Amino acid sequence: MELVVTLITNPEQANLTQQHVDCIQAALNDAGSMPASPSWLAESIACDITFEGDDIPSFRKLMQGEVWDLGIDSVVQPITNRRKRLLLADMDSTIVTGETLDELAGIAGLKDRVAAITERAMRGEIDFKAALRERVAILKGLPATALDKTLEITELTSGARQLVQTMRTNDAHTVLVSGGFKFFTSAIGKKVGFHEDRSNEMIIKNGILTGTVGDPILDRDAKLDALNSISSAKEIPIEETMATGDGANDLPMILAAGLGIAFHAKPVVEEKAPAAIRHGDLTALLYIQGYRREEFKE
257-261, Cβ contacts within 8 angstroms, sequence gap of 24 or more: 257/88, 257/227, 258/81, 258/84, 259/77, 259/84, 259/288, 261/75, 261/285, 261/288
**DSSP secondary structure code for residue 195 in this structure:** S
**Domain identity same for 14 and 130:** no
Within a domain: residue 60?
yes
The pLDDT tens digits for 30-41 are: 999 999 999 999
Q: Indicate which residue of 48, 73, 90, 197 is catalytic.
A: 90
pLDDT in the model for residue 158:
98
Q: For position 216, which CATH number holds?
A: 3.40.50.1000
Extract the runs of DSSP E, i.e. beta strands, from 163-265. Answer: 173-181, 196-200, 202-205, 208-213, 241-245, 259-263
The pLDDT assigned to 111 comes to: 94
Compute the radius of gyration of the chain from its Cα atoms: 20
Give the model's pLDDT for residue 55: 92
Closest CA to 185 of 194, 216, 15: 194
Structural domain including 75 reads 1-80
**Cα 253 to Cα 242: distance, rounded to the nearest angstrom:** 9
Q: What is the 3-state secondary structure (H, E, C) of 72-126?
A: EEEEEEECCCCCCCEEEECHHHHHECCCHHHHHHHHCCCHHHHHHHHHHHHCCCC
For the chain, counts of helices (H) and of strands (E): 12, 12
Residues 44 and 143 in one domain: no
- DSSP SS3 for 55: coil
CB atoms within 10 A of CB 187: 15
One-letter amino acid at 41 equals: L
- Residue 281: active-site member: no
Domain match, 189 and 75 both: no
62 and 98 share a domain?
Answer: no
Domain boundary among 27, 60, 80: 80
**Model pLDDT, residue 234:** 98
- Long-range CB contacts (< 8 A, 24+ apart) of 189-196? 191/156, 191/161, 192/95, 192/156, 192/160, 192/161, 192/164, 193/161, 193/164, 193/165, 193/168, 194/89, 194/164, 195/168
For residues 70 and 105, state if they share a domain: no
- Say whether both 35 and 100 belong to one domain: no
What's the confidence (pLDDT) of residue 152? 97
Q: 225 to each of 52, 180, 232, how far by Cα in Å?
A: 34, 17, 10
In angstroms, the CA 253 to CA 221 distance is 8
Q: Does 62 share its domain with 103?
A: no
Q: Quick one: 26 and 100 in the same domain?
A: no
> Do residues 98 and 190 both lie within one domain?
yes
> Mean pLDDT in each 10-residue stretch from start to end of the chain (298 residues)?
97 96 95 95 98 93 91 96 97 97 94 94 91 95 97 98 98 97 98 98 97 95 98 98 97 98 96 96 98 97
CA-to-CA distance for 275 and 258, rounded, in angstroms?
A: 11
69 and 132 fall within a common domain: no
Q: Is residue 34 part of a domain?
A: yes
Q: Of the listed 48, 73, 92, 281, which one is catalytic? A: 92
CB 219 within 8 A of CB 249: yes
> What's the pLDDT at 39?
98
Looking at 80, 97, 129, the residue that finishes a domain is 80
How high is the pLDDT of residue 78? 96
Is 30 annotated in the active site?
A: no
Q: pLDDT (tens digit, 9 = 90+) per residue, 276-292?
A: 999 999 999 999 999 99
Residues 207 and 97 in one domain: yes
Q: What is the pLDDT of residue 220?
A: 94
